[in-house]
């Protein structure tokens, strides 16, 4: 099992634990190197870093940037070992956050049109950071109000294209997200490639290859091979893309909190053979623990 977990969320975005609680849970579960990768926000990093130091585990500054590719395809780019004080990165994710309030109002209108009132207030009650209001907070409201059994089932009947609560949105450009991450000294990782859709259909292989080619041409260097949200088939597919395109391989649970996650922290299966782990980018080949991230931001 891997003791690196390089994709996780706190209540700074749409997780349920505080950054310190998240780190405590990771340490308890045997994670030795953790990255906090909140959506479009890096405010949790100092608290998480301090908690990691007190638990004796290594911490990597991270972020997960929401991107719109080719007008209508949402993809997520994780930045690892970023410097949150880098101006273009900090301002870039702030600009991505600014669209969320208006989007939330439209989502609530769409739910109201389907007979579900009170969604805006209901969603904000679940958002500890109101700037990051998003679909997960609406999903928690829909569960709380008895419309769905759990958050995962919300995403079958609501908040996705063609269903109540869905609102198309323009996130960052792929070139900007990769540029901000690289500019800050980080590594850009294409998150959970198995999860992308166009409309409600999975992205086909030719389109995935075009995405990867463009991502690499812009400076992207890694792909999430092991993800809590991947099936073993999707993991194998991602490993093949990594080999085909010469990408480093990343791993992360995409943990959002107890009872709401695909997989618990510290439960990630090993990489398929031949993967080169993304931490080579900051530890060097073979790994010199603590090499570059210590003391950063």
CA distances from 77 to 35, 53, 223, 273 (A): 14, 26, 9, 24
Q: Considering beta carbons, is residue 155 or 245 the nearer one to ligand AMP? A: 155
Q: Considering beta carbons, is residue 70 or 161 the nearer one to ligand AMP? A: 161
Say how far apart CA 36 and CA 293 lie, in whole Å.
14
Question: Following DSSP, what letter does each residue of 184-221 receive, concatenated?
Answer: TT-EEEE--GGG-EETTEEPPHHHHHHHHHHHHHTT--
Q: Considering beta carbons, is residue 151 or 225 the nearer one to ligand AMP? A: 151
Binding to ligand AMP (CB under 6 A) within 191-250 occurs at none
Q: Considering beta carbons, is residue 50 or 167 the nearer one to ligand AMP? A: 167
Q: How far is the CB of 152 from ligand AMP (least distance, A)?
A: 4
Give me the half-sphere count of Cα atoms (radius 13 Å) on the Cβ side of residue 144. Answer: 14
Residues contacting residue 257 through CB under 8 Å, at least 6 positions apart:
9, 15, 16, 17
Of 26-34, 84-92, 108-116, 134-142, the segment contacting ligand AMP by CB under 6 A is: 134-142
Q: Which position among 14, 41, 176, 283 is part of the footprint of ligand AMP (CB under 6 A)? A: 14
- Quick one: CA torsion of 77, 82, 83, 88, rounded to 10 degrees? -30
Q: DSSP secondary-structure letter at 182?
A: H
Q: Which position among 10, 37, 81, 136 is part of the footprint of ligand AMP (CB under 6 A)? A: 136
Asked if 134 touches ligand AMP (CB under 6 A), the answer is yes
Asked if 7 touches ligand AMP (CB under 6 A), the answer is no
Name the 3-class secondary structure at 161.
coil
Asked if 155 touches ligand AMP (CB under 6 A), the answer is yes
Positions in the binding site for ligand AMP (CB under 6 A):
14, 39, 66, 134-136, 151-152, 155, 256
């Amino acid at each position: 099992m891997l003791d690196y977990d390089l994709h996780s969320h706190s209540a700074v975005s749409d997780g349920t634990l505080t950054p310190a609680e998240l780190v405590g849970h990771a340490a308890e579960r045997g994670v030795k190197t953790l990255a906090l990768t909140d959506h479009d926000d890096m405010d949790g990093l100092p608290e998480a870093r301090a908690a990691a130091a007190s638990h004796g585990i290594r911490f990597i500054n991270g972020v997960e940037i929401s991107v719109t590719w080719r007008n209508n395809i949402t993809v997520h780019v994780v930045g690892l070992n970023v410097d949150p004080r880098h101006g273009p990165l900090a301002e870039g994710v702030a600009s991505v956050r600014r669209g969320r309030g208006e989007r939330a109002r439209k989502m609530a209108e769409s739910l109201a049109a389907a007979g579900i009132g009170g969604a805006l207030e209901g969603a904000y009650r679940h958002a500890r950071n109101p700037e990051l209001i998003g679909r997960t907070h609406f999903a928690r409201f829909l569960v709380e109000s008895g419309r769905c059994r759990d958050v995962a089932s919300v995403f079958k009947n609501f908040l996705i294209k063609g269903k109540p609560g869905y609102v198309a949105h323009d996130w960052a450009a792929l070139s900007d997200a990769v540029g901000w991450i690289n500019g800050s000294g980080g590594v850009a990782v294409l998150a959970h490639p198995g999860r992308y859709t166009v409309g409600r259909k999975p992205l086909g292989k030719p389109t995935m290859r075009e995405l990867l080619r463009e991502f690499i041409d812009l400076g992207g260097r890694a792909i999430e091979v092991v993800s809590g949200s991947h099936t073993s088939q999707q993991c194998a597919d991602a490993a093949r893309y990594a080999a085909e395109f010469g990408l480093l391989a990343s791993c992360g649970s995409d943990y959002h909190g107890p009872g709401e996650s695909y997989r618990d922290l510290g439960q990630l299966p090993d990489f398929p053979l031949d993967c080169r782990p993304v931490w080579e980018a900051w530890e060097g080949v073979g790994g010199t623990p603590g090499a570059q991230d210590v003391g950063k931001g």
